[in-house]
């Protein structure tokens, strides 16, 4: 594949995005528990490209937040779809956010305090023979976040 701009790779990961029903409630987990920082926040934009992409029905109100971690700018986004009842997520889940955490047990405890579903910790075996721990957490909107620590 030819690269038209030699300074730009053919593909560069920018960010993941989860849909949420209440942005402030979601931020209580992503900011207060996981340590993300809100880099940018926008209210409803009736001309948003996201309306078509996410097939959002008329009458819904959109909100949007871009989140960063130290040294990792704008790696996560939350798109709020308010004013309508969001249908339940289909299972099996089709996506997850995977995060290395300094203290997965503290993250899990803080998530439990918010009333979130936290799966029991499991031993993690990496492809290169290392071991660690991983814990699954389901956010307020049934989005799966997996936190892990090697060693």
| pTM for the full predicted model | 0.89
46 in any annotated domain: yes
- Check residue 44 and give its pLDDT: 86
Q: What angle do CA 20, 109, 92 make, to 5 degrees?
A: 45
- Return the CATH number at 71: 3.10.180.10
For residue 27, CA distances in Å to 4, 33, 58 come to 38, 9, 25
The structural domain count of the chain equals 1
Each residue's pLDDT, cut to its tens digit, for the chain (151 residues) gives: 555 666 777 888 899 999 999 999 999 999 999 999 999 999 988 888 888 888 888 889 999 999 999 999 999 999 999 999 888 899 999 999 999 999 999 999 999 999 999 999 999 999 999 999 999 999 999 999 999 999 9
81 in any annotated domain: yes
61 in any annotated domain: yes
- Check residue 6 and give its pLDDT: 62
Inter-residue contact 148 to 98 (CB < 8 Å): yes
130 in any annotated domain: yes
66 in any annotated domain: yes
Range of the domain at 88: 16-150
């Amino acid at each position: 594949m030819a690269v038209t701009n030699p300074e730009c790779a053919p593909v560069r990961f920018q960010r993941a995005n989860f849909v949420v029903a209440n942005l402030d409630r979601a931020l209580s987990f992503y900011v207060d528990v996981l340590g993300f920082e809100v880099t940018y926040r926008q209210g409803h934009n009736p001309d948003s490209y996201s309306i078509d992409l996410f097939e959002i029905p008329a009458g819904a109100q959109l909100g949007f937040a871009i989140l960063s971690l130290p040294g990792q700018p704008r790696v996560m986004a939350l798109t709020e779809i308010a004013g309508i009842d969001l249908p339940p997520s289909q299972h099996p889940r089709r996506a997850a956010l995977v995060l290395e955490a300094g203290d997965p047990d503290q993250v899990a405890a803080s998530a439990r305090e918010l009333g979130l579903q936290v799966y029991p910790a499991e031993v993690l075996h990496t492809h290169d023979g290392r071991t660690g721990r991983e814990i699954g957490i389901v956010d307020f909107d049934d989005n799966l976040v997996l936190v892990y620590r090697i060693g």
